[in-house]
Structure formats: C-alpha cells, structure tokens
A and B are shown apart, each in its own frame.
Chain A
Amino acid sequence: DAGVIQSPRHEVTEMGQEVTLRCKPISGHDYLFWYRQTMMRGLELLIYFNNNVPIDDSGMPEDRFSAKMPNASFSTLKIQPSEPRDSAVYFCASSLLAGGHYGYTFGSGTRLTVV
C-alpha cells in the first residue's frame, strides 16, 4: 500500500487566494482526519470523517475552512480566502478502527505558506 497520499507537498499562495489541499487515505480505512501543525499550537485536529461523513468539525478554525469527502478514496480541505495566519503544515491521516486503537497513519503533509 502506498500509504496516505497528500498533494501538493508545498503550496505558496498570496493572501486572499483559495487553497485546496488533497488527500487519498489508505484503502479500506474508514476514518480520515485533517490536522494542522504549527510551532505555537502543535498538532490540532481540524475535522474527521467516518465512511465519508463528517463527524466532528469543531476544530475547524472558521468559516473560511471547509472539508469534503466525496468518496472513500479522496478528501479535500479548502481555505477561502487564505490568510497569513493559515501558514502551517496540514496533515491528513487515516485509520482502520474507531478510537485510533491502532494509531493513525499520516500522510507526508502539505506545507502551506500564505504571503
């Protein structure tokens, strides 16, 4: 298995532009998570899906952020409009079971810089 695949690896964009991050979870994993990591706040859960349905989006910072999972093999995280404070590494992770019983598998992340 190729693991969790994220694209792009790096994204530099200007303030106000729309940014779309993509994720392909491990085949057969029913849970998909979007995390954001910054030096100040560490790893924060933004939203997670179970069987393509959003379960908890309480970590999404504000309405500028949205996430979708149209099918079991693809998810997007969109920021519109982007702001400099959104600069961070965004990780997608997937897991087989609820409760992270066997831990999560993370993708390589997207390093976002908003200038």
Chain B
Amino acid sequence: RKEVEQDPGPFNVPEGATVAFNCTYSNSASQSFFWYRQDCRKEPKLLMSVYSSGNEDGRFTAQLNRASQYISLLIRDSKLSDSATYLCVVNGGNNDMRFGAGTRLTVKP
C-alpha cells in the first residue's frame, strides 16, 4: 500500500462546478499536511496547509480527518485557471514529506 494515495483522475468539470479530491495516508503519526498545485511542466507550488479544524482560502477548503487518515480539498466555483494537478502531501516528521501521485483536474468552458 502506498503511503499517500490519491485518485489520479482525470477530473473533467465545467466552469463553475464544485469538485472534491480525497487523499488517504498510512502513517498515523503524520504531523502536518498540505495540498500543492502543479501546472504542466512546472514546479509544485504550495496551495494550502491543512489543519485539524479545517481551513478555507477563498474558493478552496481543506479538511483533515485524523481518525480515518484522510485529507480532502474542495474547490468551489471552478475556474479555467484551476486546471492543474493537485498533490496531497503528508509530513511524517523529520522532513519525511511524502507526496501523492497527484489528481489531475481539467476545468472546461
């Protein structure tokens, strides 16, 4: 079993749609969690950290469920510019950052 698992997609959604991605992790001692965004042929960029209480940044909402060991990312009112690969990242401690394989999102007009 992979340490961080994501549905690879692709998710193809129309503009304005709401889309959600899930990610599961195997290390119950994991300490911090992130969502990164990676555009085609570019570097990953930090989208947001994920906190136990859940957190929101504009149209993006991240949730963490430690008991079930999963993380989610919700994107509301999708824009064309949201098209990218979204990487779930889990820090097991001591800079042991594990990246998921990514979920590809395409937002269509």
A binds B: yes
Residues of A within 8 A of B (CB): 31, 33, 42-43, 45, 48, 55-56, 91, 98-109
Give the shortest distance, in Å, between A95 (CB) and chain B (any CB): 8
- Which residues from 18 to 65 on chain B have a C-beta closer than 8 Å to any C-beta of chain A? 31-32, 34, 36, 42-46, 49
Of the residues A42, A48, A98, contact of B101 by C-beta under 8 Å:
A42
Could you tell me if A109 and B95 are in contact, using CB atoms closer than 8 angstroms? Answer: no
Kindly list chain A residues whose C-beta atoms are within 8 Å of the C-beta of B94: 56, 98-99
Could you tell me if A99 and B49 are in contact, using CB atoms closer than 8 angstroms? Answer: no
CA–CA, A108 to B39, complex, Å? Answer: 11
4 further A-B pairs in the complex, CB-CB below 8 A; given A33-B97, A42-B99, A42-B102: A42-B100, A55-B95, A91-B44, A108-B43
Task: Classify the interface of chain B: helix, strand, loop or mixed.
Answer: strand
Could you tell me if B43 and A99 are in contact, using CB atoms closer than 8 angstroms? Answer: no
Of the residues A31, A91, A108, contact of B95 by C-beta under 8 Å:
A31
Could you tell me if A103 and B34 are in contact, using CB atoms closer than 8 angstroms? Answer: yes
Q: A42-B102, A99-B32 are in contact. Are A106 and B45 (CB under 8 A)?
A: yes
Could you tell me if B36 and A103 are in contact, using CB atoms closer than 8 angstroms? Answer: yes
Kindly list chain B residues whose C-beta atoms are within 8 Å of the C-beta of A109: 42-43
Kindly list chain A residues whose C-beta atoms are within 8 Å of the C-beta of B95: 31, 33, 48, 55-56, 98-100
Of the residues A56, A99, A105, A107, contact of B91 by C-beta under 8 Å:
A99
Give the shortest distance, in Å, between B96 (CB) and chain A (any CB): 8
Kindly list chain A residues whose C-beta atoms are within 8 Å of the C-beta of B99: 42-43
Give the shortest distance, in Å, between A107 (CB) and chain B (any CB): 6
